[in-house]
């Protein structure tokens, strides 16, 4: 198992890289949705290290805020005790999933306090901090201002009860929390009042010109993110509230009693604080060489698409204003669904990392995520049946199968020695020469494409062994050398494939290295092991057992059915109040509910131009019950776009659509609607309501491709 705190040596290398990823909040466990980010980032950093680059991966717990203060109070412990307990749990989960941070710290640290004050002072002195009075909801019993999510009430549109925040789960309506009917404080149960308070703001608009240039510059952002930033910049940037009022667990703003830093203690300050902590522990690492304005190091950040605005605008602006370097690139990823739907506690698909670990090998998940990850902002579905089948097929049935077919012959008949002869040089060259292509996929974070290429090679090696049939040849005493040659090549090809898979499967790679007496360094893919002794083969990986997958799902129902029985009761009550459309008949027999239309001629159909489109933006349409406004890209760069109003609001939240590919009627004449011009039509299937699904093409289809 990979150790959490690893010893490492700083080597002279071609590249100097610092990698960060979003800080997990110290108010709950790590779940499988979180893990896509950390596994993705870990794979990329492991690849860089395997190539010999100096690559440091840092993170920390985000440990401040009202939720932590309230939870600690509820548990009868101090916030410090709470965050210490959670940090222990987080570290254990990350360690067991093989996420090898070079440093893991906390935002409640001396380093963070130092940087928060320093950066604030520099921004203030530079004229980038403003103060103004705002009106907020206030709990008169607890004497505290309430964040939006701490106010609940009835939806002002449909009347659904127990709604939080600014979006109704029942009807999808958007609103301000103050518009909720019969609103109460979650903390005390009392009706909130409105109260004025002076807040501190970062003037993000001061950096509009710089951000316009930075967001458009090649390589800083993914194209779809860059396009979205351009829209926000065009609409004007708002001031960013960086303060909260007491009581609040965190650090006070200098010379502002009762005012506490908010939002920016995780990014960028949390990353800087964690890195400074690493530098203090390892004097060979120089802080300024990575963070100064003149730094030539590479700085990358991996995050979810839900916080892309903050990290693509706020973070670079703060660093610019405080005299530090900006990130080289910010990479966003999509959300994780389980079995095609949002993670659900009631269905047992809201799965904690620890619950997974109690039932399944963490490397299964690392591989499955890698196999589905692209360098786009696509959502990733963890289909549990597909998960089991793919891991069993790819890792057990293809890669490990090569070693299991060949190893025993080498160890039993040839004293563990690999042959000096290469039985099929063409096959060996093909597998070894794939290294540059696979490296390019890793570098560009297109892991899924890399995994497909690796598995295609594994298929060819297995086919070679199947044709050669060493298990038959071994019966012929005159064929012994041939058997050694065949099996030696098989073992070498297995080694090369495991070199390629090492960033994804570090534990399996360690076991393979012990079996082969080889370090599996990346450059090793260019060579073969000849006249080389291997050790006795032991089973490297077990098949995924669906019974264990089912047990994990069931355990998730038990452990995460809800915070308290009371809350589950409220949730059930809320569901009853929601408007439900009975589509059961249509779902059971779509043709009966909606018969096939009259025949048309082929020429009629040929007039329709169906194209693959990428949804680069989606948003609610004010005062529209059914419509979402979609911005569709018909090319990879997002230069050719269409605005389409789609009646899918009942089935989708806008954020869940961004980054998806779909099918649209591209040559439909534009229609002027009350809300704007609709320039096409998105295709969807289903009877309606929540039972509606937009059409998704298979991986590989690109925007602009014609559907034939």
How does the average pLDDT of the chain come out, rounded? 88
Q: What is the pLDDT of residues 631-680, one digit of tens each?
A: 888 877 666 778 888 888 878 877 678 888 999 998 888 776 766 778 88
Note the residue count of the chain.
Answer: 708
Q: What is the pLDDT of residues 101-115, one digit of tens each?
A: 999 999 999 999 999
- The token pair at 493 is 């090809």
d(C-alpha 204, C-alpha 182), whole Å: 35
- Examine the pLDDT at 514 and tell me if it is beyond 70: yes
**Among candidates 261, 270, 310, 311, which has minimal Cα distance to 117?**
261
Q: What is the DSSP letter of 140?
A: T
- Examine the pLDDT at 565 and tell me if it is beyond 50: no
Torsion 288-291-293-295 (CA) sign: positive
- Examine the pLDDT at 619 and tell me if it is beyond 50: yes
d(C-alpha 390, C-alpha 165), whole Å: 39
Cis peptide before 247 (omega within 30 of 0): yes
Q: What average pLDDT does range 242-253 have in this prediction?
A: 95
d(C-alpha 459, C-alpha 394), whole Å: 9
pLDDT at 589: 55
What does the radius of gyration of the chain's CA atoms come to, in whole angstroms? Answer: 28
d(C-alpha 222, C-alpha 347), whole Å: 34
**Among candidates 662, 547, 682, 667, which has minimal Cα distance to 608?**
667
Torsion 130-136-141-147 (CA) sign: negative
d(C-alpha 278, C-alpha 301), whole Å: 17
Q: What is the pLDDT of residues 361-385, one digit of tens each?
A: 999 999 999 999 999 999 999 999 9
Neighbours of 623 (CB within 10 A): 9
- 3-state SS, residue 603: helix
User: C-alpha 94: how far from its chain's center?
Assistant: 15
d(C-alpha 334, C-alpha 116), whole Å: 30
Q: What is the pLDDT of residues 158-176, one digit of tens each?
A: 988 888 877 787 777 778 7
């Amino acid at each position: 198992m990979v150790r959490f705190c690893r010893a490492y040596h700083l080597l002279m290398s071609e590249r100097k890289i610092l990698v960060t990823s979003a800080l997990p909040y110290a108010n709950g466990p790590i779940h499988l949705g979180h893990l896509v980010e950390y596994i993705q980032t870990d794979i990329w950093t492991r690849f860089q290290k395997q190539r010999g680059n100096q690559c440091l991966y840092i993170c920390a717990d985000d440990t401040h805020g009202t939720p932590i203060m309230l939870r600690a109070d509820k548990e009868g412990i101090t916030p410090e005790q709470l965050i210490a307990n959670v940090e222990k749990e987080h570290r254990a989960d990350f360690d067991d999933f093989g996420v090898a941070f070079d440093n893991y710290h906390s935002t409640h640290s001396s380093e963070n306090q130092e940087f928060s004050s320093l950066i604030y002072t520099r921004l203030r002195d530079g004229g980038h901090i403003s103060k103004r009075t705002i009106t907020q909801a206030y709990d008169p019993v607890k004497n505290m201002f309430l964040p939006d999510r701490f106010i609940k009430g009835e939806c002002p549109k449909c009347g659904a009860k127990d709604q939080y925040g600014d979006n109704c789960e029942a009807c999808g309506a958007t609103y301000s929390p103050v518009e909720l009917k019969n609103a109460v404080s979650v903390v005390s149960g009392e009706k909130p009042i409105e109260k004025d308070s002076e807040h501190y703001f970062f003037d993000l608009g001061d950096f509009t010109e710089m951000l316009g240039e930075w967001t458009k510059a090649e390589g800083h952002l993914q194209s779809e993110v860059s396009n979205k930033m351009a829209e926000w910049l065009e609409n004007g940037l708002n001031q960013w509230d960086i303060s909260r009022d007491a009581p609040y667990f965190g650090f006070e703003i200098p010379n502002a009693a009762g005012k506490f830093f908010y939002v920016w203690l995780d990014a960028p300050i949390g990353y800087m604080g964690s890195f400074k902590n690493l530098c203090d522990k390892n004097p060979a690492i120089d802080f300024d060489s990575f963070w100064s304005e003149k730094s030539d190091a590479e700085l990358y950040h991996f995050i979810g698409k839900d916080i892309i605005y903050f990290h693509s605008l706020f973070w670079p602006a703060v660093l610019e204003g405080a005299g530090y370097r900006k990130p080289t690139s910010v990479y966003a990823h999509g959300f994780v669904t389980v079995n095609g739907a949002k993670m659900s506690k009631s269905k047992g698909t809201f799965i904690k990392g620890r619950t997974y670990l109690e039932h399944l090998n963490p490397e299964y998940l690392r591989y499955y995520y890698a196999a589905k990850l692209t360098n786009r902002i696509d959502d990733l579905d963890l289909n549990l049946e597909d998960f089991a089948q793919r891991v069993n097929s790819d890792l057990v049935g293809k890669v490990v199968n090569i070693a299991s077919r060949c190893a025993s012959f080498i160890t039993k008949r040839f004293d563990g020695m690999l042959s000096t002869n290469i039985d099929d040089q063409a096959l060996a060259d093909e597998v070894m020469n794939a290294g540059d292509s696979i490296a390019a996929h890793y570098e560009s974070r297109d892991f899924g494409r890399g995994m497909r290429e690796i598995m295609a090679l594994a298929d060819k090696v297995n086919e070679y062994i199947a044709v050669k049939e060493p298990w038959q040849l071994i019966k012929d005493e005159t064929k012994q050398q041939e058997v050694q040659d065949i099996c030696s090549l098989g073992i070498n090809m297995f080694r090369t494939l495991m070199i390629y898979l090492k960033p994804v499967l570090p534990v399996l790679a360690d076991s393979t290295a012990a079996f082969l007496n080889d370090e599996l360094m990346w450059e090793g893919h260019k060579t073969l092991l000849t006249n080389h002794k291997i050790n006795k083969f032991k089973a490297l990986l077990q098949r995924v057992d669906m019974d264990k997958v089912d047990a994990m799902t069931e355990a998730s129902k038990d452990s995460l059915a809800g915070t308290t029985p009371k809350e589950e009761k409220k949730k059930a009550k809320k569901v009853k109040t929601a408007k439900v459309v009975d589509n059961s008949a249509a779902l059971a027999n779509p043709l009966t509910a909606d018969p096939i239309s009259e025949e048309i001629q082929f020429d009629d159909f040929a007039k329709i131009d169906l194209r693959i489109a990428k949804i680069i933006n989606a948003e609610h349409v004010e005062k529209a019950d059914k419509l979402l406004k979609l911005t569709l890209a018909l090319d990879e760069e997002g230069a050719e776009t269409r605005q389409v109003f789609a009646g899918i609001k009942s089935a989708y939240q806008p954020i869940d659509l961004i980054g998806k590919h779909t099918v649209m009627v591209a040559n439909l004449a534009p229609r002027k609607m009350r809300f704007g011009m609709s320039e096409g039509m998105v295709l969807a299937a289903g009877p309606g309501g929540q039972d509606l699904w937009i059409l998704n093409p298979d991986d590989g289809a690109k925007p602009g491709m014609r559907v034939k």
